[in-house]
Amino acid sequence: MNKKLNLLQVYRGVAAVLVVLTHGNIILSREMHQGDLLQIFHFGWIGVDFFFVLSGFIIFYIHQSDIGKANKFKSFIFKRFIRVYPLYWSILSIKILASLFNTNKDNIYQRSADEIIKAVLLLPQNHSILESSFIGVSWTLSYEVFFYCIFALLILKNTRISQSIIFAWIIGIFLNLLNLLPIDESFLLRFIFNERNLEFVLGCLAAYTISKYQFKFATSLIYTSLFLLVVSVINTKYKEFDVSGIPPSLAYGIPFTLLIIGSVYLELSKTVNIPQILIYIGNASYSIYLTHGFFLGNISKVFTKFTDKVNILYLFPNPNIYYNVNAFLIVILAVVMGCVIHSYLEKPLITNLRKKVFTQIS
């Protein structure tokens, strides 16, 4: 269980790139008013579901031996804090500073102190507020932080009371899925019992399965999961977000869970050769995830001004080809810039903080 799982790191990169592609489709269509090739990646929002299942797996996989050990609580909290907040605060600060010079109606001046505090602390908040004035994808980090708090409860006190609280929470999620929980008027309760929280539970279940059982058909499990994912994606394509009546958290969460189990069994049983560039993109996934919206929006604006000024379209018999090629180039640039942020901001920041924090703890 101590083996480093490179395949899962690659999957983190895949999840981030999927989100970049789906946001690329939205942002570039708005900024460039042309190009349709990225529309085939409209399902890329499932990268968020993948992230959640991966997070549940990784936390349980790494920290299951800490459950019930109160002396591990402080270390767990500091590790999670350092992983999430320093880079997020750095990017958010840049976004807020930029907004001070922005005359747009949705800039930081229009936000209340309560909304700003919630954005800074990653407390649950309306998506539209985050998208217009802060970091759009940060709503997903609120779920991450909430899951860390739930798991921290197990580390601090693995008693019948804490187990009962978590069990009641999971039951509440299922009841909410069936529309049997009367919480429509409460934003906070809808957050706590949101179906997406089930994906963290599925990830934990996958890690528990790996630790307790042996499975010889890892490749078959991977193929099965990929088949189920393709079926769900096709269903999403032609029925929008209706996956034959199955909630997206299950339609995608279950296949991702099977994919993770199969991949981990495969990597634990033999050496899987993975190109270092894919592992690096996985390492940079958080930076890519936080910054891609900024880079997609601004690079596309520069591109549009260049196109209008140079009048380069007359060279192309079909301007749509030009826009589609450049859309992919902009997406690639956004990923590359995320990697630059990882290497020169995230990595040094986390390394230095870990040295200082864990020196004090020890």
pLDDT digits (tens, 9 = 90+) for 167-183: 999 999 999 988 888 88
Average pLDDT over residues 130-150: 94
pLDDT digits (tens, 9 = 90+) for 264-304: 999 988 888 999 999 999 999 999 999 999 999 889 888 88
pLDDT digits (tens, 9 = 90+) for 191-222: 999 999 999 999 999 999 998 888 788 899 99
Average pLDDT over residues 216-240: 86
CA distance 8 to 58: 9
Give residue 59's pLDDT.
96
Percentage of the chain exceeding pLDDT 90: 60
Q: How confident is the model at residue 107 (pLDDT cuts 50, 70, 90)?
A: low
Give residue 89's pLDDT.
97
